[in-house]
Amino acid sequence: MELDFKKLDGLVPAVIQDAASGEVLMLGFMNTEAYAATQASGEVTFFSRSRNKLWRKGEQSGHVLRVREIRVDCDVDSLLIRVDAVGPGVCHEGYRSCFFRQLSPKVTAERTFDPSAVYGKDAHS
Amino acid sequence: MELDFKKLDGLVPAVIQDAASGEVLMLGFMNTEAYAATQASGEVTFFSRSRNKLWRKGEQSGHVLRVREIRVDCDVDSLLIRVDAVGPGVCHEGYRSCFFRQLSPKVTAERTFDPSAVYGKDAHS
């Protein structure tokens, strides 16, 4: 089974999931070399788009990602890699997961009338 | 907080995770319109790269993805969307998750000698 690297100019996204907890830890990209290095070493290796080179996750921090299982999706253009995450956290900002922020709805308009005056204090319609 | 759509020519990857089980169900891409539609409707809407248009997941199958929570990663260029998945499965091939295949190591070389003759039957070195 050949991974489809063509859809994204030579890259496939790789979702990294903690094999024990199921937590999604991060998302990175792999080119063919990064994917081969991941398979050969058993440690997740990405292609860094900002630095334009291979990046073995944890090469600086020691927080490596040991591959437990690699899954591929129906279109063969995305990877799900279940790992044992070594160390206290994956994110360079000091969190266990890079997805440490929730996007909450933000009010972007100004109120034009007082709803409690129209609908009463506890009304929802 | 502005999502960074520039790194991937107007797209961000969105990992879809079952909010109840933690299972990773699929990965899709969103442009600004798909992201806005997802927020407005509360149902996951992707940008289909193959069809070059917005694609509300489940518009044909009824297997929609109801947004429970949207998280963003440290670089603000990837989304993790935790959902209630309506219906028996997400994948168009009939599986609960699009990641239904495991990649196993495949032997690509020919054996050049009989290891048991050299190392004995149970040796591992």
- Neighbouring residues of B28: CB distance < 8 A, sequence distance ≥ 6: B13, B14, B16, B44, B46, B47, B55, B57
Closest partner residue to A72 (CB to CB) among B17, B24, B103 is B103
Q: Do A13 and B17 touch (CB under 8 A)?
A: no
- Chain A touched by B6 (CB under 8 Å): no
Q: Do A27 and B7 touch (CB under 8 A)?
A: no
Q: Do A91 and B70 touch (CB under 8 A)?
A: no
Closest partner residue to B73 (CB to CB) among A17, A78, A98 is A98
pLDDT confidence of B96, banded at 50, 70, 90? very high
Closest partner residue to B72 (CB to CB) among A24, A80, A103 is A103
Identify which of B68, B66, B42, B44 has the alpha carbon closest to the alpha carbon of residue B55. B44
For A97, A101, B78, the CA distances from A88, given in Å and listed in that order, are 10, 18, 22
Query: Residue-wise pLDDT tens for chain A (125 aa)?
Result: 789 999 999 999 999 999 999 999 999 999 999 999 999 999 999 999 989 999 999 999 999 999 999 999 999 999 999 999 999 999 999 999 999 999 987 777 899 999 999 998 766 55
- Chain B touched by A22 (CB under 8 Å): yes
Identify which of B98, B97, B83, B14 has the alpha carbon closest to the alpha carbon of residue A27. B14
CA distance A80 to chain B (A): 7
**ipTM score for this prediction:** 0.86
Q: What is the pTM of this model?
A: 0.86
Instruction: Categorise residue B84: left if φ over 0, alpha if ψ from -120 to 50, beta otherwise.
Output: beta
CA distance B123 to chain A (A): 22
Please state, as a whole number, how many other Cβ atoms lie within 10 Å of the Cβ of residue B43.
17
Closest-CA residue in chain B for A42? B105
Rounded to an integer, the average pLDDT of B90-103 is 95
B105 vs A12: which has the higher pLDDT:
A12
Please state, as a whole number, how many other Cβ atoms lie within 10 Å of the Cβ of residue B88.
10
- Average predicted confidence (pLDDT) for chain B: 93
